[in-house]
Amino acid sequence: MTEGAAIGFWRTVGLLLMASRRRSQGRRRRQQELLNNRSATNWGSLATLFGIGLMAVLHGAAAFAVISGVDAGQQLEIERQGIFIVHGWFRDDVLILEARGPADEGVKEAKEGLESGYHDEARDIVERSGGQEAEVEQRLRASVAASGSRYLISRDDAVPGLSALARSGPAATMLGSVMLLWWLAMVICQGEGLELDLQRRRHPMWEWLLSHPVNAGAVFLAEMLAPLSANPTYWTAPVFVGILYGTAQGLGAGFAATALIGIPLTIAAACMGKALEIGAILRLPARSRGAVIGILSWFGFASMLTMFFAATVMPRFATIFAGAIDTAARLSWPWLGLFLGLRADGQFSFLRGMAFCWGVSATLVAFAVIFSARSIRKGLSGAFASDTLPARRGKKTSFGREPLFRKEFLWFVRDRSAIVQVILIPLTVAGFQLFNLRAIVSQAGNSWNYLSGAAIFFGTYFLWILGPKSLTSEGSALWIALTWPRGLESVLKAKAWLWSMIASGLVLAVLLAGCWLFPQDVWKIALVAIGWYFFARSMAEKSVTLVTVVSESGEAQQVSSGRRWAAQLGMLSFGIGVCTQQWNLAVVGIVYSWITAAAMWENLRARLPYLYDPWSETLPPPPTLMHAMVSISILIECMSVITGLVFAIAGKGSLGVAQGIGYGVCAVGVSIGVSKFLHDRGVSPARIWCWRDEQPDPAAAQSWPRRYVAADRREARWLLFGVGGGVVLALFAHVYLIAIALVPSIAEAIHASHVQMQSIPGMAMAYAVIAIGFAPFAEEYLFRGLVYRTLDREWGGWKAVLGAAAFFAIYHPPLAWVPVALVGATNCLLFRKSKRLAPAILLHMAYNIVVTLWT
């Protein structure tokens, strides 16, 4: 081509379609990074082939969803007449009993087959239509005894399928037509792929029309066909048409329909989707266009996921909503029949169906062209919709007086795409993962705890998805807070509050449904709701700590795997505890999640000043809460390993000695190891064993003889207070155990624990050695010297005391949580006031001595 020569029409179209394909590949990698928060892996042509195969399976599932809808409608109409749909062999056995006398051959085998078949048939009916197996089996037996095979029909006769659409009732044609229209809407909304860039303000067409000397018609044609070039979903869409025509009219018609009908429909759907996108970008305000495009993309994505299992749930759906289906079926639903070329005589005509589909395709293309041309004409003339919000005169809202919460509220009001970012996409992904756990969900309707556990798993995953995705989707706008007097930390806290409220609303809706389904367990569900309120806040706060900066090109920094794993600590414990009704595990999950959130916020606070300079960031000064948590975990794990090794070598008789040796070795080893670790980082042992305030002690101004005499007197007083406090708390623990032993189930558990301890030689002595000789030193060093000190630096006040006490308690048996937590809280206050760990160690030791000897 000579220099300066104009590019031809079709050459322009080809170049633009190639550019749209490359643009789609880059956007797909970007969407994967936004969804997974990690670098996308480029699998090359293998990934393309896999994607094409997956899309073919998707459209095949959609076709079977249409067929299943027709089958469900046919089944519903049969069952409405009181007829049971059974296997053919079951009905044949009933016919044998009707036709032959008692002495005829084969009657005995038929009776035996029926006896074993009643339960199987009832189970199949319940799986399709719901109900109770015992009740269905009883009705089936009564029907056979009274009427024989009169009210029995085999499945092949009851559900003849798509080929018998003309003989089907209105419910079958309605459900099939709805699924057909749903597939068409899904294909239209696919566009060029999943759209998460909701703030896009330009359109590629502007660049080519205003800066390149090319044919405007070629640009327009290429832009309308861009989805076909960019999105593999369209490449296999004709498979849907081929499967339906092949099922209704035969294999040859199916292959012909794939090419002659499927391709025109696919082109029309792509043009329609592109027209909606052009109209939204060129005719809507900037804050609304992202929401419209996002909602269209979300619908296409959600519908695509739903198609994978729509066929399996269709029979149950038809039974549950039978009344609504009957009402809707009164309207005319000829679309599936017209699509397949159904004639008035009940036969299918390929040419009739092709003519109808071509007419629909031409109508969609014409509408898309006219709508797009009108949008472009008005858009190029500058007739944009207003971006300003109407003033609300005379109305004052009391919500959001706190500026941080008000900021988040205004984000929802002014930026419509917030609905997609914060609710629709996380809700869809969480729902898809809940479907992957459908084994748990299938049990949700049978018990309140399974229903509550499913709601908690859903809310937990919702928060886990919502946090990083919403922060990333805000882009550079999030960092405006760096210049705000309140600071980014307060903004992130406010976002955590907002997300926890959104997730709590979703979980609360399910829990309220549980209260309606299980009224006798309302108080238990209420306790779960209270636990979820605290758990959700900690989970949301952990999510916001995964925030990373976004470059000017929209590229988000990766989150380190260590921080992601840390945020998952305690994530599933609460839900598992509720599902299995292990309340101690549920409490452990809440406490552990809160402590983990505090540890991650301590690290985040140290990183915040260096978000744009990550190579200069420094870790928070040791000791940190994460150091304490890791140390305690190492202590428990190492003790379990050593105990297991000794038990494996010496047998059950050595279990008591094994636990004593294991805890003693691990307590000493972990304490020395942590002390060495901190010493290498500039933290001397004295800084852990002694509490040093920033303000100097007033006694330091005295002369040195009087200063040391006063310090010795104070320390002696605190040591005596520690011993006395330990005895008093041990007495309280004894009274507490007597009180809870009044509950029969708890009394049995306590008695079983005593019997088990007495059955193992040396167990009581081992526990005494652990409780008196090792536990006070190791646990006070770890839980007060490290955990409480760092929590006081993070939270301060009573919140730090209660958090450290709860964290200390969950490492003990559940029946001892109350007195152990009281010991932990007392030792926190004693350490804070006395400035020494020694009084806390003496209190702990005195408490364990009295409790052990008394027991």
Q: In angstroms, what is the C-alpha Rg of the chain? A: 35
User: Which of 121-130, 394-403, 769-778, 830-839 shows the lowest mean pLDDT across its residues?
Assistant: 394-403
Residues 655 and 795 occupy one common structural domain:
yes
Residues 458 and 604 occupy one common structural domain:
yes
Residues 652 and 607 occupy one common structural domain:
no
pLDDT, tens digit (0-9, with 9 covering 90-100), for 640-690: 777 677 666 766 556 556 666 677 778 888 888 888 888 888 888 888 888
Mean pLDDT of all residues in 402-426: 66
Please tell me whether the peptide bond between 623 and the residue prior to it is cis, using omega within 30 degrees of 0.
Answer: yes
Higher-scoring residue by pLDDT: 713, 226 = 226
Residues 539 and 610 occupy one common structural domain:
yes
Q: Over 50: is that where the pLDDT of 396 sits?
A: no
Residues 563 and 654 occupy one common structural domain:
no
Q: Over 70: is that where the pLDDT of 388 sits?
A: no
Residue 798 inside a domain? The answer is yes
User: In angstroms, rounded to a whole number, what is the distance separating the alpha carbons of residues 534 and 586?
Assistant: 12
Residues 686 and 567 occupy one common structural domain:
no
CB burial class (10 A; 0-12, 13-18, 19+) of residue 331? exposed
Residue 557 inside a domain? The answer is yes
Residues 654 and 779 occupy one common structural domain:
yes
User: In angstroms, rounded to a whole number, what is the distance separating the alpha carbons of residues 631 and 645?
Assistant: 21
Residue 301 inside a domain? The answer is yes
Residues 773 and 729 occupy one common structural domain:
yes
pLDDT, tens digit (0-9, with 9 covering 90-100), for 456-472: 887 887 787 766 666 66
Asked whether the beta carbons of 187 and 307 are under 8 A apart, the reply is no
pLDDT, tens digit (0-9, with 9 covering 90-100), for 577-634: 888 788 888 888 888 888 888 888 888 887 777 766 666 667 777 888 888 888 887 8
Number of H helices, E strands in the chain: 38, 2
Identify which of 545, 595, 627 has the alpha carbon closest to the alpha carbon of residue 800.
595
Residue 265 inside a domain? The answer is yes
Residues 137 and 167 occupy one common structural domain:
no
pLDDT at residue number 607: 78
Residue that is last in its domain, among 322, 352, 380: 380
User: In angstroms, rounded to a whole number, what is the distance separating the alpha carbons of residues 594 and 623?
Assistant: 18
pLDDT at residue number 422: 65
Residue 315 inside a domain? The answer is yes
pLDDT at residue number 399: 47
Mean pLDDT of all residues in 822-836: 92
Which segment, 71-85, 200-214, 402-416, 470-484, is predicted with the most confidence on average? 71-85
Element (H, E) at 677: helix 655-679
Our count of domains for the chain comes to 4
pLDDT at residue number 577: 84
- In this structure, what token pair is assigned to residue 558? 């990766």
How many other C-beta atoms are found inside a 10 Å radius of the C-beta of residue 710? 13
pLDDT, tens digit (0-9, with 9 covering 90-100), for 84-131: 888 887 887 777 777 765 555 556 666 666 777 787 888 887 777 767
pLDDT interval class at 304 (50, 70, 90) = confident
Residues 304 and 198 occupy one common structural domain:
yes
Residues 369 and 437 occupy one common structural domain:
no
Residue 339 inside a domain? The answer is yes
pLDDT, tens digit (0-9, with 9 covering 90-100), for 736-765: 988 888 888 777 777 777 776 676 666 677
Q: Over 80: is that where the pLDDT of 482 sits?
A: no
Q: Over 90: is that where the pLDDT of 828 sits?
A: yes
pLDDT interval class at 226 (50, 70, 90) = confident
Mean pLDDT of all residues in 481-487: 60
pLDDT at residue number 201: 47
Backbone angles phi, psi at 121, to 5 degrees: -65, -40
pLDDT at residue number 194: 63
Residues 536 and 600 occupy one common structural domain:
yes
Residue 628 inside a domain? The answer is no
Domain residues for the domain of 447 are 429-620
Separation in Å, CA 108 to CA 111, 113, 118, 148: 5, 9, 16, 16
Residue 549 inside a domain? The answer is yes
